[in-house]
Amino acid sequence: MSPEELVKSLGLTEGRHFKNLEIELPVIDSHLYTSLGKELFDLYEKYKVSPEDQRQVEALNFLLMGFVFDRNKKVPPSFMKRMKKKIFS
């Protein structure tokens, strides 16, 4: 899903509820993707989360993460150097 689709799926309006900023977000290394995805899947299974609710959880998490990174300019440079990648390029 694109960022625009995510905010629309949550009923948010640009200018009123959000603004688009060019911020950099951490992107995990590819070798961690499978194990972290499995942890998330296991939580969904454990709590019997429906596929629709899974998508909503992921959309909310994505948007909240953008807020945190925009507000927290104190992210350690070593962390950002390792993790930084523009996700909307």
Q: Is 86 left (phi over 0), alpha (psi -120 to 50) or beta?
A: beta
Q: Token pair of 45, please? A: 């299974």
Write the CA distances from 23 to 44, 65, 70, 88, integer angstroms.
29, 11, 7, 9
Q: What is the pTM of this model?
A: 0.60
pLDDT digits (tens, 9 = 90+) for 16-74: 888 887 776 667 788 888 998 999 999 999 999 999 999 889 888 888 887 777 766 66
Domain that holds residue 27: 3-85
- The tally of domains found in the chain comes to 1
